[in-house]
Amino acid sequence: MELANGSPPKPKTQPKPQAPSAPAAPAAAPKPAQPKRAGGPQAFLFEIADEGANYYRASDATVELIAGLYSDGRIRLADSDDRRFAGALIGGHADLLELQRNEWSEVYLRVTPTGRMQLELRGGPYDAHVLTCEPLLQ
């Protein structure tokens, strides 16, 4: 049978069967919340997972470091020149090891009469610097 416009009728087609869908993959478990990990010196501080840690920008007129003070007494310092220091505070004092050069220096943690925290460094590349600490926003 032809249509009025002269074209032959289109054959009727059967719908193709749908392939069975694969079972849905189980949802991944949410990752625990962690501080934002930044590149550079901050990455060194965030290697230690410690919810009780405090992070600071420690600086004077010529030097800027970042510092991590951890709940178990450890301290880490880092600068933008890829120097990394690690130690353990005991009574406000720590011997610091510069990890890349395997050299020792010291840091003293103190609080000023106005309540500001300072790091006094002795030996190493920052000898005789007293750095005032300001909390880092994470």
Per-residue HEC secondary structure of 65-115 comes to EEEEECCCCEEEEECCCCCEEEEECECCEEEEEECCCCEEEEEEEEECCCC
**Model pTM greater than 0.75?**
no
Look up residue 123 and give its two tokens: 């030996």
pLDDT at 131 over 90: yes
113-128 burial by CB neighbour count: b if 16+ within 10 A, else e? eeeebebbbeebebee
Confidence of residue 17 (pLDDT cuts 50, 70, 90): low
Domain residue extents for the chain = 41-135
The reported pLDDT for the residue numbered 20 is: 52
